[in-house]
Amino acid sequence: GRGQGPRGSSMSGADPSHAAGAGPDSKPDQVAVASAYQRFEPRAYLRNNYAPPRGDLSSPDGVGPWKLRCLAQTFATGEVSGHTLIDIGSGPTIYQLLSACAHFEDITMTDFLEVNRKELGLWLREKPEAFNWSVYSQHVCLIEGKGESWQEKECQLRAKVKRVLPVDVHQSQPLGAGSLVPLPADALVSAFCLEAVSPDLASFQRALAHITTLLRPGGHLLLIGALEESWYLAGEARLAVVPVREEEVREALLHSSYEVRDLRTYVMPAHLRTGVDDVKGIFFAWAQKSLIQI
């Protein structure tokens, strides 16, 4: 499953500093990506990835439990903590922050699409029509083993999310100039975003470099994404994805001056290959930004 959404308001008004550093074809490609995402349907996306079978958390070898375990175990080390955390490309999902919220005071959620930001708003304001994440919250409380109720967990996350903002990872300033976010952040989380909005590997690497500018030296990035996926469905929208391999993710992280602390992969079992995408697996990376910036 994913936590997608490509990036902030619109792709127009592209900043010249970025255009200058980009390949000759990247702008038209980004416009095509932005255009395809206008048909993205959050509810269809949530159904495809966060309702059963993929949203069935009862089997420990499922994709949901694997992602939640990677996050819970990383936060359990106590090394990833601080004041501010930014979730890049939240999409319509909140599960990626359930373990994070105990370790940060100020969380910013972001997405390119207004429909996704609205979907997040429904959950944050406890609207009855919001997507129900309680099975995810329950599962995280279970694996963390702190004796917390799922209601307390959700209450804590809602209290810590201070803003939901537009983002565009293809811009050299992904949150725009003069955004309300306290920068640089102590940590970044990004799930199923970069590969899903990048036309090619070079664009993926640039997007990673752009979001890295938001992170303080020594800060942590938790990155989750699809392995060797080329498309996925979200209602009427059929979105292109840049297929990446584990080694390409590692290279991109090293290139953006991270130390890779952990990199794990999950192979998508046959019964979870449901025809909503051609994903082969999922990667989880924990990376720490170098203290010495080159």
Q: Which residues line the annotated binding site for S-adenosyl-L-methionine? A: 45, 50, 89-90, 95, 111, 116, 168-169
Q: Which residues pair with 258 in a beta bridge?
A: 289
Q: Give the list of residues 6+ apart from residue 83 with CB closer than 8 angstroms, or none.
A: 104, 105, 106, 182, 186
Q: What is the DSSP letter of 180?
A: S
- Strand pairing partners for 147? none
Encoded tokens for 116: 């996704």
- By DSSP bridging, strand 231-234 and strand 161-165 are unpaired
**CA pair distance 36, 208, nearest whole angstrom:** 21
Burial 45-67 (b: 16+ CB within 10 A, else e): bbbbbbeeebbebeeeebbbbbb
Measured CA to CA, the distance from residue 40 to residue 42 in angstroms comes to 6
* Alpha helices, H only, the chain: 16-21, 26-37, 42-50, 63-76, 114-124, 134-144, 150-160, 194-197, 201-212, 246-255
Cα→Cα distances 119→32, 124, 273, Å: 24, 9, 26
Q: Is the distance from CB of 279 to CB of 229 less than 8 angstroms?
A: yes
Residues 205/211/215/221 CA torsion (nearest 10 deg) = -60
Cis peptide upstream of residue 65 (ω within 30 degrees of 0) = no
SS3 213: coil
